[in-house]
Structure 1
């Protein structure tokens, strides 16, 4: 969530940034924010003045009673009663203005970083890096959903029987490869200095608001209505909310954590060939990295996250590219996002498998997550997160790109984790 003071002091910067996102009615909502904040401020002043006068009269009343001037004291008591009614009125108006301001601020996305170009959707994203050789497969090469059926390692029909479409069952070597990838990703992250944690898979409403999934993506989340809890769409939500409301020490920064969780997304309206097999699921596994950073270091940290993910993909020997997302494709809470995509040789298209984002103070403001700066004043931190990595499409790319006529080879780096080097 943007800070009102930032909007007030950088109005044109905010408007220019929202224009990159093609954010509708930006000027109108920003004006409404400032108008509502003016009302909130003036009402606060009026309330403070009334309370100050009431306190002053209360002291005078006490003195008059002690002096035996009961009649004068009673006249002032009548006036304090009137002031009490005024303060109640101003308090109600202040609450109304504050609630309206909060609702308006929740509607405004983050301001994109200066390097983000204007654009409406994924077609306007910028490719900034690519690496790896796309393998040449034999003419009988299959997409991963056919390979999964051929080698009996992932059963999509059985998942549909148990739950519904988008909930696959991993079997045999498929389940072991899935577990191997999780352990490999976690090991790579902990070796890079991230502290491994295990977090709940359900969160409360405050956590959803803290990281920005609510109210923006409420329709994409599974809601457990009886307990008013939400299944997590990503480990980013519980992992970042670990620090909600904290005043951390500057010496503790950066705080870096990693964790594995299943993720749950309704993906309402998703259909067609692009969602076949593992391409888009309602439940999937992901290993996440989260950083809480000093504002002066957050973009260096983002570059480090990108390099870290690069290193993992190099070890897996998978062809990939990196996109800098345009304004219209950048997530609601992010200031800058880099997407990683793997090339699916059998499907002949790129599949998103990771994103690394800097949210600057946007999440921290919602979370009330601060640190004390060198002047001893509390200041909002910057938060970052990245997929390291999302498993379904990584697994799909391995199955498709490593397929041979004899079976599916296992990337060398995963063999010690799997205990086998071939699926056949």
Structure 2
């Protein structure tokens, strides 16, 4: 049995596929992964024992510039990714028994599977883009809804029109070229009526969040047994647990001056800092010995040894911190990040800092909440409820679907 997994997006979109790939290989399946050709993604997949089949441009070239991507950038990128999926997936999927896609609206993936006659699954790591009568859609490039519009049915219809504006012309052109009929609603075509939700049920309950028949597998976690670097281990051993501060691959969206603000906020509370460079290239504000800078590191091990985690609110970082029992301060910027911030606050495992421009005072206040005994106790309790087997659940479902199709 052979499976093709694909994504185009940040590390939070690629690392779960590596976790799923490990589970599939443990079950004896062959796995191919098509993902952006960023160097760190290739290294990530190498840890899972799976080579990277390059798909589209690097993510870093799109999001790590001096400014956030614009709507014009999105309208240029969308048809480029559609073309890349038809070309790259069309080749990589030959001989495969199933295709699973995730990440930025993977228009083109289902179409390749349809042409080859193999099962297709759309997976997501949150419910933000799934139509719901109870929750409005997030923002997308395209024509805005009328001010004051509150009918979710209308808002989701307009969301579908925005997706069509980005993808439909390119998608249908490529479908015609391989002998498939055109698609009217690209969003619903990509999502299917039964998408998979690769998120923990405690952190991201699906009930009431979407009208679709969601299959919730649990989070896909890539096991990490790498030791912490010697210098970091020595820093951790040298004093009380520090506060971790990192914003991952949110280079263009990291709050301005966040390194200085975070270090000073931690110092105001008498805490040392582990500062993650990330794509934003965060660096120390001075040569104080109470701040240690790290690059790529085993967060699963590190988060078990910190007093709190200050981060942007990506699904992966939120889940890793929650599994480690580490209190969180979430400073959301875009997409699903405000949702994860709200869940951390609702669950009592941390604090949400919704102001997009943290100050030393505001971040200190949020940290003070996260560092209370009550929050730490709650974080430890919630950690025990998070299931570690989501990738294995998904692997079994995917291979079952492939087997039924083959039979």
Task: Specify the TM-score bucket, using the shorter chain as the normaliser.
Answer: under 0.3
- TM-score, L = length of structure 1: 0.21
